[in-house]
């Protein structure tokens, strides 16, 4: 009886210091000589109080543990479970509330005698905070019996195991790269993770504000800004949180520059622009013209390919020049803003009607004007190819293809040579498919010979011309409307309305769109109008705003610039208490629902 009483007296009660109950926990009540076993510092916090992570953020002090161990015993350093972000504007801190266990390892000396007991003592100190912070500490003790056979403590072992599951482990595949650009670092992740969160390991390595999250077809980007008055670190080191995946420990070197990546994105965006309905009708004329010129000499074919490439590229460079001139004058000019002019939209609608009539066989000069008429002379052929390229880019502006928004948004903030390089890469990408085909007449000869089938094909291909003209006429009516009509669930956007909704603790969704933006219209029908997404947007804790940029609006232009964009679409999600998310330019219902924290529809794009 006395033996068990002594053992009971060795079991310490949690030490209460202020607003935190602290204690030492052990996975085993008895340990064998030479054995290592799990233990931890357990902190139970009262409601509203918190303690700090190893990097406390903008202010604070991490908990510490100083051991006073018997001879031969050793204790490892505590591990740190992934923290949460604790906002106290203007400060952002990283820490824990509720309850946290900092797991560690204790080692029994090899010469410990079975049947003996050891009392392990430690001094724990921490800073406990709510509206104010108070230093606190406690002297703690942990009794351990030495035995030839281990005796686990089921409850405390489960606590330690759960804490270890929250400790980040190295994952080299989580982050692909990091690149510095001015005062910020872009951390690129593999896969789409709109709710990703990052906590830097070192205090003051970066600004404590939430990193902006941007999702694209290439993966996920987190933008980390340098802390005021400090230089960017050589490596990005910290903890990466992705819903549905275990915490990952990230350590990647920071590379400088990054212009080559954006040039590649602009080139890829130009390639994809050829598949958009704005440009495809123009390429139809060009392809039909090639069929009628199967015997064109290689030199002449390549000259016309160069003329078409020059038309496309110089159009892009001219737009870049306008952007630079507008920026120098303190104004802003966005990609596709020319479609905010009713005169231009009306002129293009008429041009597409004439093109459709030409394909239908009722109007020949339209096709000759675009430069594919077989009777054009050599000089006229070069001029026609050049202006075909000009017209292709003029028509293609509302179809902002994937990769283009981020690349062009980045470009317009850069020095003039980089702006011109990015827009030049966009033009080369847009011109590449036709230029490649027309430069090798041998490829053209593999195509079917002209015949009656071409007449039928032309009539069929007139349909997308008329459809494009109809869409432009619809855009013209939208431009003439006094105010854009808001679809169900969507509220009219304003910075004040968004700020109020966020202050109310709501998840805020902002759709920056325009009637002339075909990508926006495709996303509306394929993703935003789906029943699952509509239900999520109508939830009580969600506020959905639509910023319609069909006509000129300086406030929308300024907001787009804030996100490094100069065109639409742009989709911004502000989760309640979460990091800001920029969704990609091509949406799926699953991706939108994931950003809203709602379950994805099974069997649909975006997955379950």
Task: Assess whether 50 and 147 both reside in one domain.
Answer: yes
Residue 175 lies in a domain: no
Say whether the peptide bond before residue 569 is cis (omega within 30 degrees of 0): yes
Residues 6+ apart with CB under 8 A from 85: 92, 93, 94, 197, 199, 210
Average pLDDT over residues 64-91: 92
Whether residue 369 is predicted with pLDDT greater than 50 in this model: the reply is no
Q: What percent of the chain has pLDDT over 90?
A: 32
CA atoms within 13 A on the CB side of 577: 6
- pLDDT digit string (tens) for 500-529? 999 898 999 999 998 888 788 889 998 999
Residue 485 lies in a domain: no
| Residue 587, domain CATH | 3.40.30.10
Task: Assess whether 228 and 275 both reside in one domain.
Answer: no
Q: What is the pLDDT of residue 65?
A: 96
Give the helix ranges, DSSP H, for 51-177: 154-165
Task: Assess whether 475 and 496 both reside in one domain.
Answer: no
Average pLDDT over residues 242-256: 89
Task: Assess whether 495 and 470 both reside in one domain.
Answer: no
Domain end marker among 480, 502, 522: 480
Whether residue 120 is predicted with pLDDT greater than 80 in this model: the reply is yes
Q: Is 232 left (phi over 0), alpha (psi -120 to 50) or beta?
A: beta
pLDDT band at 370, cuts 50/70/90?
very low
Task: Assess whether 19 and 110 both reside in one domain.
Answer: yes
Residue 448 lies in a domain: yes
The pair of structure tokens assigned to 553 is 């609006």
Residue 87 lies in a domain: yes
Q: What is the pLDDT of residue 33?
A: 93
The pair of structure tokens assigned to 594 is 């994931």
Task: Assess whether 577 and 435 both reside in one domain.
Answer: no
Separation between Cα atoms, residue 279 and residue 298, nearest integer Å = 26
Separation between Cα atoms, residue 64 and residue 74, nearest integer Å = 16
Whether residue 242 is predicted with pLDDT greater than 50 in this model: the reply is yes
Task: Assess whether 227 and 252 both reside in one domain.
Answer: yes
Candidates 582, 542, 548; CA nearest to 562 is 582
Residue 606 lies in a domain: no
Domain end marker among 223, 257, 291: 257
pLDDT band at 266, cuts 50/70/90?
confident
Whether residue 355 is predicted with pLDDT greater than 90 in this model: the reply is no
The total domain count for the chain is: 4
Task: Assess whether 322 and 376 both reside in one domain.
Answer: yes
Instruction: Give the number of other CB atoms < 10 A from CB of residue 162.
Output: 12
Question: How many helices (H) and strands (E) are present in the chain, helices listed first?
Answer: 17, 26
Q: What is the pLDDT of residue 117?
A: 94
Contacts 24+ apart (CB under 8 A), 451-454: 454/288, 454/291
Domain end marker among 415, 447, 480: 480
Whether residue 164 is predicted with pLDDT greater than 80 in this model: the reply is yes
Instruction: Give the number of other CB atoms < 10 A from CB of residue 246.
Output: 14
Q: What is the pLDDT of residue 278?
A: 62
Task: Assess whether 186 and 143 both reside in one domain.
Answer: no
Whether residue 604 is predicted with pLDDT greater than 60 in this model: the reply is no
Whether residue 575 is predicted with pLDDT greater than 80 in this model: the reply is yes
Note whether 259 and 418 are within 8 A (CB): yes
Q: What is the pLDDT of residue 373?
A: 36
Quick one: CA dihedral 373, 379, 382, 385, positive or negative? Answer: negative
Lowest-pLDDT choice from 236-250, 322-336, 394-408, 562-576: 394-408
Whether residue 169 is predicted with pLDDT greater than 60 in this model: the reply is yes
Q: What percent of the chain has pLDDT over 70?
A: 80
Average pLDDT over residues 47-70: 94
Average pLDDT over residues 194-202: 90
| Residue 142, domain CATH | 2.60.40.10
Q: Is 49 helix (H, G, I), strand (E, B) or coil?
A: coil
Q: What is the pLDDT of residue 319?
A: 80
| Residue 98 structural domain | 2-167
Average pLDDT over residues 464-471: 80
Q: What is the pLDDT of residue 10?
A: 45
pTM above 0.75, yes or no: no
Q: What is the pLDDT of residue 17?
A: 58
Residue 605 lies in a domain: no
Residue 601 lies in a domain: no
Task: Assess whether 42 and 189 both reside in one domain.
Answer: no
Give the helix ranges, DSSP H, for 143-291: 154-165, 259-273, 280-291
Whether residue 8 is predicted with pLDDT greater than 80 in this model: the reply is no
Whether residue 368 is predicted with pLDDT greater than 60 in this model: the reply is no
pLDDT band at 486, cuts 50/70/90?
low
The pair of structure tokens assigned to 110 is 């090899």
Between 569 and 279, the more confident residue is 569
Q: What is the pLDDT of residue 366?
A: 41
Task: Assess whether 466 and 497 both reside in one domain.
Answer: no
Q: What is the pLDDT of residue 607?
A: 45
Average pLDDT over residues 102-114: 95
Residue 68 lies in a domain: yes
- pLDDT digit string (tens) for 141-152? 999 999 988 788
Between 354 and 250, the more confident residue is 250
Q: What is the pLDDT of residue 38?
A: 96
Q: What is the pLDDT of residue 586?
A: 82
Task: Assess whether 24 and 98 both reside in one domain.
Answer: yes
What are the φ/ψ torsions at residue 192 (nearest 5 degrees)?
-100, 115
Separation between Cα atoms, residue 320 and residue 333, nearest integer Å = 10
């Amino acid at each position: 009886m006395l033996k068990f009483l002594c053992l009971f007296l060795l079991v310490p009660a949690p030490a209460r210091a202020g607003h935190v109950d602290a204690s030492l926990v052990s996975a085993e009540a008895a340990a064998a000589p030479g054995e290592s076993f799990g233990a931890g510092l357990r902190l139970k916090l009262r409601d509203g109080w918190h303690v700090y992570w190893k990097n406390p953020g903008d202010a604070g002090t991490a908990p510490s543990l100083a051991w006073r161990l018997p001879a031969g015993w050793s204790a490892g350093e505590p591990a740190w479970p992934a923290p949460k972000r604790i906002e106290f504007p203007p400060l952002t801190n990283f820490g824990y509330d509720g309850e946290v266990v900092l797991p560690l390892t204790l080692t029994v000396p090899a010469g410990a005698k079975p049947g003996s007991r050891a009392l392990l003592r430690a001094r724990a100190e921490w800073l406990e905070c709510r509206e104010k912070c108070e230093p606190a500490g406690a002297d703690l003790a942990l009794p351990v019996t030495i035995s030839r056979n281990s005796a686990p403590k089921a409850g405390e072992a489960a606590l330690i195991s759960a804490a270890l599951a929250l400790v980040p482990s190295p994952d080299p595949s989580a982050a692909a790269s990091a690149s510095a650009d001015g005062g910020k670092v872009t951390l690129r992740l593999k896969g789409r993770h709109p709710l990703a969160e990052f906590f830097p390991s070192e205090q003051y390595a970066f600004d404590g504000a939430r990193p902006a999250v941007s999702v694209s077809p290439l993966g996920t980007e987190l933008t980390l800004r340098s802390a005021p008055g400090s230089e960017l670190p050589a490596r990005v080191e910290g903890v990466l949180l992705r819903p549905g995946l275990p915490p990952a420990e990230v350590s990647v070197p920071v590379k400088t520059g990054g212009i080559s990546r954006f040039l590649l994105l602009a080139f890829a965006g130009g390639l994809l622009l050829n598949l958009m309905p704005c440009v495809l009708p123009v390429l139809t004329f060009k392809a039909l013209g090639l069929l009628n010129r199967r015997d064109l000499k290689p030199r002449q074919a390549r000259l016309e390919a160069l003329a078409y490439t020059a038309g496309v590229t110089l159009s892009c460079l001219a737009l870049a020049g306008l952007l630079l001139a507008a920026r120098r004058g303190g104004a802003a000019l966005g990609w596709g803003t020319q479609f905010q002019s009713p005169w231009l939209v009306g002129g293009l609608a008429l041009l597409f009607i004439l093109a459709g009539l030409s394909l239908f066989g009722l109007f020949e000069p339209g096709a000759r004007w675009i430069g594919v008429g077989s009777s054009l002379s050599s000089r006229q052929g070069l001029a026609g190819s050049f202006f075909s390229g000009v017209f292709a880019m003029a028509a293609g502006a509302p179809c902002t293809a994937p990769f283009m928004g981020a690349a062009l948004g980045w470009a317009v903030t850069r020095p003039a040579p980089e702006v011109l390089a990015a827009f030049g890469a966009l033009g080369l990408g847009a011109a590449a498919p036709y230029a490649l085909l027309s430069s090798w007449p041998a490829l053209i000869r593999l195509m079917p010979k002209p015949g009656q089938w071409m007449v039928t094909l032309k009539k069929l291909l007139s349909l997308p011309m008329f459809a494009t003209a109809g869409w432009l006429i619809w855009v013209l009516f939208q431009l003439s409307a006094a105010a854009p009509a808001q679809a169900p669930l969507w509220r009219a956007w304003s910075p004040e309305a968004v700020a109020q909704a966020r202050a109310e603790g709501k998840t805020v969704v902002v759709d920056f769109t325009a009637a002339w933006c075909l990508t926006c219209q495709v996303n509306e029908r394929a993703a935003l109008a789906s029943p699952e997404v509509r239900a999520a947007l109508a939830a009580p804790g969600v506020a959905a705003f639509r910023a319609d940029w069909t006509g000129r609006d300086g406030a929308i232009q300024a907001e787009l610039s804030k996100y490094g964009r100069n065109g639409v679409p742009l989709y911004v999600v502000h989760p309640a208490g979460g990091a800001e998310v920029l969704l990609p330019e091509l949406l799926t219902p699953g991706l939108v629902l994931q950003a809203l924290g709602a379950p994805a529809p099974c069997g649909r794009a975006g997955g379950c």
